[in-house]
Structure 1
């Protein structure tokens, strides 16, 4: 059986007659609508085919993340699996995973119908979905913090079997438990490939071999967690997509339907992840341009990850120079401690020069911008090499900056 967690609101089963999902659920507030645990947003087909097989839902009813519920596209996919299962004479196992600091299975139930006609089969399905929706929206964390990585692994094992299964993750994705603890400075901005390699080296990738993975709600948070910028959310989505693929997922679908509302009350605490504000130009104040999707670089190159995003960030910096002939910018490139010292200086210099070139392109006078590269030899360097000699993704990312010192 799927065990009911301590729900703040219990969802009731409505009569048949709604257009799509015939079981109504409750969301976190006044936005409750059609669908079991609906989070709002328009429906849309998932980018991955969802097979008729076992399904596992890793759902967060925790602090700092909106109350649990399923986007419409996930609801539609779930109903499709149950309907096709009857046609194929298959009984899928549906499992709920309680995503908190120590993820556990909240229980599972096998769906079956012995109905003799389509109407009776639909009634059986709706009754099952009623209990499922009630259990899902009532999920509540039991342990402090949030271990998204372990929840994915547990869901992957729960969705395994003779048939390909599906894992659905519904969470902000801001994990606070090692080895993916986003409280670690720089980890949110680290290139996904580096983080995945570190997880692989420590045998910490989730077991998702052959399953379809659906990621919903990534980057959607609730107070007191600070909201993420579009670039930060993009980094988070890219990371979890890469983790799922490295874990063996056959296909990864990202649901863009936003999740909103308040976090559940009376649940264990989850640490707030420090979300750095966007870089701003302030006279007399040093600013470090982060190695993120807004103004960061492709790994081991001086090519911007997103040149258009970088233009948006650097436009005010260029305007700063053009507003007064006495103003200057000093750009200092820094790097992680990887490769030779000479290579570190070379890469950091080229990145400072790339920032200067873009500023000039935006109208800034080149003769009032100085550049230099110092590699990993700078006062703010954070140790980015672990005891085993491997590079630490978070600190390494924090060390990859172009420091802007405005004067005048």
Structure 2
């Protein structure tokens, strides 16, 4: 073998060794990406939070025991985290995969610190974009994200004073005379509760408010927790609460409006049971008193009637509400006709229990501003006002 041949052979051998080394490096990198040095899990947590009017804005740059515990639990679970807005149109704002690198203690600490920072940034970026607060709707959106995961958890960082959706508090639902358990059962019967089976709903800051929302006294706070506990447990979940104060900061400017809730005992003549049926659940043909989906409407009303019967009610009132379209007279006429349509269906199932219908047009408790500066109807808010309220005593 000549010197030239030996050189070529040596060169080929070196190239093979380099190629093998590169291949091993590539394989190892692929394995590390999916395996031993990266920790992931099937856990999922959804946090309901937005900087919004009437509820404290959390300072995510500061340490707050209750909020810190939520973030630490999510990060240490190495699963997926979702942030859901707490405004009038709840939606998923962010989803994060909280995988952690465990190649070394240093890598693990760096990975954890980075994940904590990502969660804080995601929460800080969640700012209300739609007027009002649909807390129950937000819990439903959050539940949809974590359902089927390991240890599904919904965290709510909010005052809990909803102003739209199926449980608007302006209608007096927080008053001392309300039967919270019966109300929750009626909400379930009307298919207005999310499926929280097997989920934990952890609430931070329930009852904490900021101006212009008035502060809640201890009695009102107790009723608020009783209401949400009834709702969560009736929906199949478990409620836990953390009342430790959080560090707050100045809210962003020009947040969408949220109607203050008067929680005084005499603010509204409250019924024992109050259920608000939104347009998404009980829809009418535009400007008519005809159900848009008759079969769905009949099923919803029948289930609600069965729940009311089981609660032993003696009197029921159906209130029709509209958006601010047309004249006051036309709104009153339309809302009365729609209330009558629901009353007729309810009466057929309630037997001798008297059912009264009334139409309040755009004057219903909880009506939110739905006309823009240009005088045009703002559809998202208009939809929030097209509701039917069923109360019972």
TM-score, with length taken from structure 2: 0.56
Residue aligning to 1:254:
241
1:184 is aligned to 2:171: yes
CA, structure 1 residues 110+182, in 2 after alignment: closer, same or farther (shift >3 Å)? same
The number of aligned residues is 247
Contact 1:52–1:165 (Cα < 8 Å) also in 2:
no
Aligned-pair CA distance for 1:76 = 2.4
1:149 is aligned to 2:133: no
Deviations 1:68-102 (CA, angstroms, capped at 9, x unpaired): 3575134224324433x4xxxxx401100011000
Larger Rg: 2
Q: Distance in 2 between matches of 1:81 and 1:175?
A: 26
Contact 1:171–1:218 (Cα < 8 Å) also in 2:
yes
CA, structure 1 residues 188+120, in 2 after alignment: closer, same or farther (shift >3 Å)? farther
Deviations 1:150-189 (CA, angstroms, capped at 9, x unpaired): 1001111112234121110011111111320111134444
CA, structure 1 residues 69+204, in 2 after alignment: closer, same or farther (shift >3 Å)? farther
1:53 is aligned to 2:40: no
Of 227, 232, 252, the residue aligned with 1:239 is 227
Of 42, 67, 73, the residue aligned with 2:57 is 67
- For residue 99 of structure 1, give the secondary structure of its aligned residue in structure 2: coil
Provide the aligned C-alpha RMSD in A.
3.4
User: Which of the pair is proportionally richer in helix?
Assistant: 2
Q: Distance in 1 between matches of 2:175 and 2:88?
A: 19
- For residue 176 of structure 1, give the secondary structure of its aligned residue in structure 2: coil
- For residue 101 of structure 2, give the secondary structure of its aligned residue in structure 1: coil
CA, structure 1 residues 69+170, in 2 after alignment: closer, same or farther (shift >3 Å)? farther
Deviations 1:266-294 (CA, angstroms, capped at 9, x unpaired): 21111111222x67xxxxxxxx99889xx
Aligned-pair CA distance for 1:147 = 0.4
Deviations 1:125-144 (CA, angstroms, capped at 9, x unpaired): 11111121022123210111
Q: Distance in 2 between matches of 1:60 and 1:188?
A: 26
Q: Distance in 1 between matches of 2:99 and 2:173?
A: 47
Q: Distance in 1 between matches of 2:49 and 2:268?
A: 35
Contact 2:170–2:261 (Cα < 8 Å) also in 1:
yes
1:124 is aligned to 2:124: no
Of 101, 122, 140, the residue aligned with 1:114 is 101
Unpaired stretches in structure 1, ≥5 consecutive residues: 1-50, 86-90, 280-287, 298-335, 341-382, 398-408
- For residue 177 of structure 1, give the secondary structure of its aligned residue in structure 2: coil
Contact 2:44–2:81 (Cα < 8 Å) also in 1:
yes
1:267 is aligned to 2:269: no
CA, structure 1 residues 214+52, in 2 after alignment: closer, same or farther (shift >3 Å)? farther
Aligned-pair CA distance for 1:265 = 2.4
1:136 is aligned to 2:111: no
1:202 is aligned to 2:190: yes
Q: Distance in 2 between matches of 1:289 and 1:135?
A: 38
Contact 1:92–1:111 (Cα < 8 Å) also in 2:
yes
Contact 1:198–1:393 (Cα < 8 Å) also in 2:
no
Deviations 1:24-60 (CA, angstroms, capped at 9, x unpaired): xxxxxxxxxxxxxxxxxxxxxxxxxxx9821100003
Deviations 1:171-209 (CA, angstroms, capped at 9, x unpaired): 111111132011113444422102201211210112222
Aligned pairs (5 A) from 1:329-340: 338-339=313-314
TM-score, with length taken from structure 1: 0.54
Residue aligning to 2:290:
none
Q: Distance in 2 between matches of 1:115 and 1:206?
A: 37
Residue aligning to 2:371:
none
CA, structure 1 residues 113+262, in 2 after alignment: closer, same or farther (shift >3 Å)? closer
